[in-house]
Amino acid sequence: MPRTEDPSRHAPPTAGGLVARRPDRQRGGATILLLAMGLVFVVFGTFGAAIVAAGMASQRAAVAADLGALAGAARALDGDAVACASASELAGRNDGRLVSCHLDGLDVLVTVEVAFTPLPGLTRVAAASARAGPVRG
């Protein structure tokens, strides 16, 4: 079988003294692949952070509702307005907004919303409800 020679071996040198070669079609392919993989990691990381933010907001809403209900139950004997004002104040201190509050006997039922931003320009709300009152035997 005859040997084929590299045609660039006998090519005339260019002005800089380098031999002109044919362009390699695969040159830069690994760079594009690495950039694409990096983009995939960034996208998955961003959406993973958004899911974590939603879970944290849900927990914050539950804590604000629980503490608001306990604060309202402590003032339940003073009436509906005083109990709900106390619940609203404590929910606000936990970055929540009291959506509903009412007394059921000596029990206080509250619903709290917490706003969060999982992605830039996207605001969502997590809500939680809680009930607190005296222990019944």
Residue 13 has pLDDT above 70, yes or no: no
Q: What is the pLDDT of residue 91?
A: 95
Q: What is the pLDDT of residues 37-83, one digit of tens each?
A: 999 999 999 999 999 999 999 999 999 999 999 999 999 999 999 99
- Residue 7 confidence class, pLDDT cut points 50, 70, 90: low
Q: pTM surpassing 0.75?
A: no
Cβ atoms of 53 and 65 within 8 Å: the answer is no
| Spatial CA neighbour of 10 closest among 24, 25, 20 | 20
Q: Which amino acid is at 15?
A: A
CA atoms within 13 A on the CB side of 102: 2
Instruction: Collapse the DSSP code of 34 into the 3-class scheme (helix H, G, I; strand E, B; otherwise coil) and give the result.
Output: helix
Average pLDDT over residues 117-123: 91
**What gap in Å lies between CA 71 and CA 90, rounded to an integer?**
7
Sequence letter at residue 70 = L
- In this predicted structure, the answer to whether residue 31 has a pLDDT above a threshold of 70 is yes
pLDDT tens digits, 91-116: 999 999 999 999 998 999 999 999 99
pLDDT recorded at residue 12: 59
CA separation (Å) from 35 to 25, 104, 129? Answer: 18, 60, 45
Question: CA–CA separation, 111 vs 91, rounded Å?
Answer: 10
